[in-house]
Structure 1
């Protein structure tokens, strides 16, 4: 589905708003809303394929700004926070792997078919796994917040602890995005027919 620049900007703003509301939950919403950031980058890669040179950096910058505002808003120093270390830089390739997954799906899907659903599942699981390994692995092996000694067995245990919660949250938001996408496609298909039937 070809999108105009205005449509792309609207999609970006909508995704940015959802990320802002859910990512800032750390201090304002008391964990009642799960962070949609991972799903946002996957959906952005799908809906904004070809706009990665400007859309991805903007979403990435938003994520960092939100983190900074939340942490500093709690009266803490951003750079000495538990979650911020040299591993924090690995969020860039982590999130970009999700973007690539969504972008790959957008390039290879052929409309609303069962085959597209299967491709979506594969693209999400593979890109999500890459994101999860990069973000979790970099934090475990590089962050000073993880006590020494570090070992592979403890890392795999840590991977297992967070595997399902992160996957479930991401899949839920992507599923909601898929429903919105299907509705938008169906509405777009009906509009030309209804406009053709109007008296001139």
Structure 2
């Protein structure tokens, strides 16, 4: 196994999860949209690959949106969710990636301190991501007839908890798998080394 194999595996899982959850390919059984969490996890695990992985994941998100909207017989650019603010998703996803990358730079192994840091990084990332994505939609979409600061704040605070919960669930699963891998990996290596003697 090469050093890049685990990273390729992580990227493959993120691409599949993002495509399946964003496209609702399983209809009523689809998991919640994993896109925000995917960018956070990618920022953590795929450092050094950002120049091509970030555009790849962003292009995947747009391609899935186009596929789903077009599949409904609707012109992509005339869909309710697609406004000039749609492109605010790029910096919004950037906020999630940056949160994961920030966490990685300060990560020395699974422990309670790292868990606290992870929680803080995730909350901040989701809050900023939602601020950019929701703000882009609210202030530029023609479906919001009379945007006001109070209306924007209500919309922001109404939608923040579900987005936080969804991203938090996926990232918690990824963190649990990371901690398990850190515990199991040395045991497997030790067993393999003893078997070689």
TM-score normalized by the length of structure 2: 0.94
Taking only aligned residues, the RMSD between alpha carbons, in angstroms, comes to 1.5
- 2:80 corresponds to: 82
The correspondence of residues 1-200 of structure 1 with structure 2, limited to 5 A, is: 4-25=3-24, 28-30=26-28, 32-147=30-145, 149-200=146-197
- CA separation in 1, counterparts of 2:159 and 2:33? 14
Q: Deviation per CA, 1:8-50, whole angstroms, max 9, x where unpaired?
A: 222111110011111111x751375211111111011111122
- CA separation in 2, counterparts of 1:100 and 1:21? 24
* Structure 1 residue 125 displacement after superposition: 0.7
- CA separation in 1, counterparts of 2:105 and 2:97? 12
- CA separation in 1, counterparts of 2:105 and 2:188? 25
Aligned length: 196
* Structure 1 residue 87 displacement after superposition: 0.4
After the TM superposition, list the runs of 4 or more consecutive aligned residues in structure 1 that deviate by more than 3 angstroms: none
- CA separation in 2, counterparts of 1:170 and 1:11? 17
Change beyond 3 A, Cα 1:93–1:152: same
Q: Deviation per CA, 1:77-112, whole angstroms, max 9, x where unpaired?
A: 001101011101010000010000001101111111
- Any gaps of 5 or more consecutive residues in structure 1? none
- CA separation in 1, counterparts of 2:118 and 2:5? 26
SS at match of 2:42: helix
- CA separation in 2, counterparts of 1:96 and 1:57? 10
- CA separation in 2, counterparts of 1:95 and 1:188? 31
- Any gaps of 5 or more consecutive residues in structure 2? none
SS at match of 2:28: coil
TM-score normalized by the length of structure 1: 0.93
- CA separation in 2, counterparts of 1:120 and 1:57? 24
